[in-house]
Chain A
Amino acid sequence: MKSNILFGRIALGVYFLIFFGYLIGPLVVMGLTAFNSAAFPSITPWQCFTYEWFGELFKDERILNGIKNSFIVGFGTVILSVSIGLAASLVLTQVWAKWRSTYYTIIIAPILIPGVVIGISTLVFWRKVSDSLGGVAFMNNGLFLTILGQSTFIASYCMLVFVARLQRFDPGLTEAALDLGASHTQAFRKILLPFMRPAIASAAVLAFLASFENYNTTTFTFGSYPTLTIELSQMVRYGINPSISALAVIIVAITVFGALALEVYRRRTKLKAGEIKPAKGLPSWLYGNIATILLVLMSFTVIGMLSTAQSYSPQQCKADFREARDLETRLKIEALQAARAAALAEAAANGEATEDAGTDAPAEQGGSSGAFGGVFAPTNLEDAAGQGDGASGGAAAPASPFGNVFDPTNLEDASGTSGN
């Protein structure tokens, strides 16, 4: 029995390990790539610890513009979908008892419809409306369409949040307010709205996050206002660098900060209400809870990183790395040369044999190398390695023999032109 329990525990532990690895692993890897100086997001080979991608990120006009658009769309969506969701939930819980389930199905349908469909239909519908009115400019505006398109289904999410809260509302309170002389508007504003405030806050956060991360609807509606997700997807198409990871690190950090802060706040409230007791032996401002400790640790980490970023320079490390790589390349080349020399010698030996047997061929003229158009000339390799210094990795070393196809500057040109 005991061994069974032990086995069960180990199995559970392994399961948790795998599960959390699966959940968090990609985030950790991506976070690490933001600090690796390699030009493509990777952690192996680890080159140098660097903050440069953060600088790179804030220099990137397109990402900054994408973030700006995402925020505009986000706020627009929050306002629109929270108000629509609130109205819809009020109708659902307070009016039309007979049609409730039908109404619920209709209002919930946008969640079930694929985002792509919503995107296309938003685009088509408003184009038609605009055309039928003789071309109304704002109806074809990317921000307008994106906000409307996203709100179509995000409003349904908000409504679900509100309905859950409204079910706990005592309609007697509204009646009491009316009975005491309040108008319907006053009863709504002074009684129902304050009651709904927490739900409004969470619905707003939910709506903003859903809007911020939305891609499939936005991709049809963004027009000339690409949001962050759109920009990122385009960057992936045209070549990617670790500044994306840097952005991910920032977003993850903000999220974790927010979650921890909320947890701290909740624990404090609970503590005040006397539901939990403070742990012993810890300063009172910590309130002895793990969330506070984590929050403090994280704040220190971020502050530390920010301050070291001012003085830290990976240039030395980068130079060292380059040197090491050059050395490695040179060694490789030498090994290759040695191998080639050996092969050459062998070939020469064979040649000599035939020469001995045959006519007066000019054996010493260029060796066998001439036959391959100088591709294997050792000097070639040296040149290639020299050019490869500026490129991303050692793989570029034997580039030039293939007619400069893999020259890194090619790529830069390509992305440069297509970007413009």
Chain B
Amino acid sequence: MSSGVDVNLENIWIKFGDFVAVREANVNIKGGDFFSFLGPSGCGKTTILRAVSGFLNPSEGRVLIGGKDMAGLGPNKRPTALIFQNLALFPLMKIWENITFSMEVAGASAVERRKRADELLDMIALPGQGDKFPSELSGGQKQRVAIARALCAEPDVLLLDEPLSALDLKLRQHMRTELREIQQRVGITFIYITHDQGEALTMSDSVAVMRAGVIDQIGDGHAVYDTPATPFVASFVGENNVFRGKVSAINGDEATITSNRSGELLSKITPTAVGKMKVGDDAMMFVRPEMLQMGEGDAKSTISAKVLNEEFEGNTYSIYLEGEGGKQIKMAMPNLGNDPHKAKGDMVSFNYNANNAVVMPAGDLASE
């Protein structure tokens, strides 16, 4: 197996007529990394992937793979292999023929191909299934065949276009781990496209969050989850409670906002916005449901609300609260065996640690 190579996108613009699908994308992917593009459907992430694999040419900018400019090279000349969203296994070919298609077009003999196919089938834990047709396999098996087929081409970069979206939840979770294992074993660069933030966070070394053709933030899972750069990232990745208001005080990397309905709230400023906010600006403060806890805390981080509903989800309780002026707030508590049950309509106070909340200039939220 070849080791991973760097992939660099330099100032990529992709336009279809008047429509700008990707705007000024600058991404540096380190060799051997598992890199994800995360975003809602239609945000341009698949378009970027197609530009990397060579199915379309960027209107502006360069795609570099291993430092080499890929301009003018078709998909069959690039050291990439793509795993399609619908897998695109060849229905009229047997599994082993599917897997070794890249060898067939390169002129390898049937004996050689068969041998390689058997090796790869062992690797993906489907030994002896080579003579079946794709239609005879289950979803997860097809998934693994598609991976084997891509790996058989010995690419420097493996591109995956939402390959898990067609699988059911259990299988999806299983395949996540498996993909990650395969990636670490073969050591090549993976570029993964998904709209599922769970997939992106569990598997990736780095995540690029995209919105409407623009990359809002690039960082590892912690950075994206804990210190989102924009309201979009904050609301798209995971669940979040948003408090709108105006900045009333700034103290270094901490700010206080006067929220519209929940009073004065203190939190830290997200790193990318430090120094860019001033008193009086419209701002949004985000605090995750699991960062809230029952009880009184500091005055600037305590909110009171009425219990609307409680949902038991096994490992957690979700408690839905209604604050001042109908403000909806969600709180998540781990199930520690001590039933935190509150009656509907109870008034409760809860607080958060200001370090676990972020504030940033107001902007668009991800639409649910």
Contact = CB atoms under 8 A, between A and B. Distances in A.
Given A179-B53, A179-B80, A183-B76, A172 B86 contact: yes
A179 B82 contact: yes
Interface in B74-105: 74-76, 80-82, 84, 86, 88, 90-92, 101-102, 104-105
Contacts of B53: 179
Among A179, A186, A191, the most chain B Cβ lie within 10 Å of the Cβ of A179
Contact of A186 (B54, B80, B105): B105
A143 B186 CA distance: 62
Given A175-B84, A177-B101, A181-B76, A195 B153 contact: no
Interface string A310-346: 0000000000000000000000000000000000000
Given A178-B75, A179-B76, A195-B92, A172 B84 contact: yes
Nearest to A185: B105
Contacts of B106: 181
Contacts, number: 58
Interface in B139-154: 149-150, 153
Among A180, A191, A195, the most chain B Cβ lie within 10 Å of the Cβ of A180
Nearest to B78: A179
Interface string A375-398: 000000000000000000000000
Among B54, B82, B153, the most chain A Cβ lie within 10 Å of the Cβ of B82
Given A179-B82, A182-B101, A191 B76 contact: no
Given A175-B55, A175-B75, A181 B90 contact: no
B74 A181 contact: no
B163 to A, nearest CB: 12
A173 interface: yes
B82 A176 contact: yes
Interface string A143-173: 0000000000000000000000000001011
A30 B298 CA distance: 104
A258 interface: no
B88 A172 contact: yes
Given A173-B91, A180-B76, A180-B102, 20 more contacts: A172-B84, A172-B88, A175-B55, A175-B75, A175-B88, A176-B82, A179-B53, A179-B55, A179-B75, A179-B80, A179-B81, A180-B105, A180-B149, A181-B153, A182-B102, A182-B105, A183-B76, A190-B105, A191-B90, A195-B91
Interface of B: 53-55, 74-76, 80-82, 84, 86, 88, 90-92, 101-102, 104-106, 149-150, 153
